Structure formats: C-alpha cells, structure tokens
Amino acid sequence: MTNPIILLRGQEVPNIHQYDVYVQHGGYQGLKKALGMSPDEVINEVKNSGLRGRGGAGFPAGVKWSFIPKNEPVKYVTVNADESETGTFKDRLIMETNPHQLIEGALICAYAIQAKAVYIYLRGEFWDVAHQLDQCIEDARKDGWVGKNIGGGNFSCEVYTHLGAGAYICGEESALLNSLEGKLGQPRVRPPFPAQKGGGLYGEPTVVNNVETIANVPWIMVNGAAEYKKIGTEQSAGTKLYCVSGHVKKPGVYELPFTATFRELLYDICGGPSVEGRNFKALLPSGGSGPIVHLNDQVLDTRMSYEDTAKIGTIIGSASLIVMDDSVDITWVASKVTKFFKHESCGKCTPCREGTYWLDKVIDRILAGEGRPEDVKLIENVAKNMAGITLCALGEFAANPIIHTIKNFPDDFNQHVAKKAETKPVPAKKLAAAGD
C-alpha cells in the first residue's frame, strides 16, 4: 500500500505555489465546501477527524476551535509559522512549495470561528517565504477568496503576514500574541487563555494553530473526517511531516502516517547511518526540547505516534528527529542544546533565565575537563528546579535535555569528570569560541 499524502500533496505538480495551478488541481474547494456548511458543522468535522495540533503539544484542533465564544463580535486566527525548534524545518517546506493550502486552511478556520482576520506569524528568517505568501494572498483576493464577502457570501476576512525578528520564544502562543501586538515577545500569565475574552490578540478570542495543523484542514473538508480518521493510529489521526537531520544518509522532510515506525523512516527512507561503519547511538525525536533516547531496536520498532512515543519515555512533538551516531559525545549534545535555550530564554522568569546561564557554565567546565565528579549531580539538580515552575514551557524544555541526557547516557558525563575523556567531536576550545 502506498502511503497517503495529505500535506505534501501537489508537490509533483510544477508551480503548484501559483494560484492558477493550485485552483486547477482542486484548490479552494475545501473552503468552498466549508462556506456551504454552518460554522459549527465545520468545527464538528475537524473535531471528528481527530486532527491534533502539530506544533508539538498535540491538542485536538477542533476542540480548540470550539472554545471560541460565539457571542463575541471580534475574533482572530493566528497561524504559528515561527518554526524555531532545533531540527524543525517542515512548515517552511509547506509554505515554500504549496502556500495556498495554508491560506485556504486558515480561511476555513477563520470561517469556523467567524474571525475578522488571520495573521500568519512567521519567524523573521522566513523573509522570502513571507513575501511569496503576500503575493499568494493578493492572488487569492482577486478571485474573491480573501477580503469582503468571501466566495460571494456574507463572510469577510482579511489575511496578513507578520514577520518576527529572531526569537524562539515567539513560537510560544502567548509570546507570539505579545510580539504581534508590538510588545516584547514574552509569555503571558494564563488564564485567560488565547481562546477566551481578554486572553487573545488585542484581548479578543483567538485561535493559534501551527502551519502543519492548518494545512490538513482543506483535505479534511474535501474528503471528510471519516476518511482522515482512517489514516494513522487510534489517538494520532492522519499523517505527519517528519524532519530528519543529523547522521543519516538522506536527511529531509518526509510525510508518513502515524503508524510508521522509526525504523521505516530512518533505515528504509533515510538510508541508515551516514558514515559507513558507524552505528546509530541516540535520537532526539522532538528537537532540542524533547527527551533523548537510545536509538536501539526497541525505539526503532516503535510507531511514531503520540501514544507510542509516550510508552518509550519521550514525545513525538513537532517530529524533529535529530539522529546521532556513535561518534557523538552526549555531553556535547547537552551543551549545544543548553546554549540554544540560554540564548532563547526571554528573561522573564528567574528559574529559566538564571538556570540556563548556570547550566551552560557548568557544562562548559565539564566539557573542558575541569569538572568535579559532583558537577553532574549539580546540573541535574539545577535542571529539576527549573522544570514546571516558569510561565511557559521553555523552562521545562531547557531542563529536559539535561535530565534525560544524564539519565540515559550517564557514562558520557562521567568520563569527563573522571578526566579520561578521549573522543570529542569538537574541541572544547572551539566550542567556547562559538558560545556567546
């Protein structure tokens, strides 16, 4: 059986990014169908499909939409295209190659909650992507899919892009809303949640969904929730874009149903370890923030779904698989990821701001061969005291790599503090120069 293709559909069609070509291949039919239904029917269809948020948390999209109060006059949709998690590069692919499916999906969402406008928040580095999207929005407008009286009916909605400027934290939904309002991109205290009055964009009820989540919606409208639910597993409906980077022969973005295993992806599709004679050692299945695991047979034979990855002590999250072979020192991995979170901590909550700073300092000391045996316990302790006590999940994300690298690869740390480390992929001196 060939794998179903939803998110990468149309990729084989030349110029599918152009409005006319997209329309010739069934584009905007999902929106047309939605406009013929009531907003509640659209929400129910998405609910019944089992579509879960693809940004990482996996919250059911239709349920999120149903939280929006119906009696509020002004509501918004914001699409999270901030894609900044280490190892994630799937949303960029959707927007670069088939941008209209995102615009169409966002408009279906906007109709379902009766939103006044859609803001697509892109990370600043997606400069070229945003300008292409602006053009696509104008092309769709000419045919009446954007702006006043969409599709000739009573529903009106604007679509805009907004470029961020280099801050991972703006992928956190409340920080994203602050950034869009022209404030510092720092998380808000919740409740009120974005879907509630007072919690969303300009205080109005707002749906925030990831690009990949929204890109599923036109397909669901055209083919129906029942067809969508047939794909994937019990708790993980549909397909997923898996981003594979690191030590495989063929890194890239691949679309697979949630029933696929790590082995199918990493061996059958990505061709196994990139260097002959090397074996897989470790896997970060969800970028820098998810728990690291040994890339052993048990993991390889696990299905890449929300529920199956939970059973092996990790998460599928945004499905950003960073693959490491046996040349890699996991202490160095912990250092790299910690430098990332230290740089990206917004500075609002003390445990995260100070914790990442000190974690980085102590890990640098360990890597330089100057660590004390008790330093491993020390960083584990600092990490455990950061998790779960900050306004947003970044505190936890920064703690995860430390807690799980030490738990799963203790020898990699102990070899440094025992002052007998011999193989390091990058000399410590060079790492220090690359640090900030």
Residues that bind other proteins in the complex, under the rule CB under 8 A: 83-89, 91-92, 123-128, 160, 162-168, 179-185, 202, 243-247, 251-253, 284, 288, 320, 322, 324, 328, 333, 336-337, 340, 343-344, 346, 426, 430-431, 433-434, 436
Sign of the four-CA dihedral 12, 18, 20, 23: positive
- What's the min distance (Å) between Cβ of 117 and other proteins? 9
- Whichever of 175 and 260 has its CB closer to other proteins, that residue is 175
Of 182 and 191, the one with the shorter C-beta distance to other proteins is 182
- 291 secondary structure, DSSP code: P
- Least separation in angstroms between CB 435 and other proteins: 9
Place of tokens 């912990």: 334
In angstroms, give the least distance from the CB of 142 to other proteins.
17
Closest to other proteins by CB, 39 or 185? 185
- The smaller minimum CB distance to other proteins, of residues 52 and 339, is found at 339
- Evaluate the omega torsion of the peptide bond into residue 191 and state whether it is cis, within 30 degrees of 0: yes
Nearer to other proteins, 92 or 303 (CB): 92
Helical axes 330-344 vs 394-408, angle rounded to 10°: 170
CA 196, 199, 204, 205 dihedral sign is negative
Q: Is the peptide bond before 257 cis (omega within 30 degrees of 0)?
A: no
Quote the least distance from Cβ 135 to other proteins, whole Å.
14
Taking the least distance from each CB to other proteins, the nearer of 55 and 251 is: 251
Is 276:288 a contact under the CB 8 Å cutoff? no
Q: Which of 190, 42, 194 is nearest to 109 (CA)?
A: 42
Short-list 196, 194, 215, CA closest to 78:
194
* C-alpha distances out from residue 89 to 146, 200, 211, Å: 27, 27, 11
Supply the minimum distance, in Å, between the C-beta of residue 2 and other proteins: 23
CB of 213 to other proteins, least distance (A): 17
Amino acid occupying residue 205? P
CB of 320 to other proteins, least distance (A): 8
Residue with tokens 């179903």: 4
Contact by Cβ (8 Å): 274, 266: no
- Cβ proximity to other proteins: between 118 and 207 the closer is 118
Q: What token pair was written down for 85?
A: 């998690």
Q: Which lies closer to other proteins via its Cβ, residue 86 or residue 261?
A: 86
In the complex, the smallest distance separating the C-beta of residue 224 from other proteins, rounded to whole angstroms, is 32
CA atoms within 13 A on the CB side of 69: 15
CA torsion 90→58→1→230, rounded to 10°?
-140
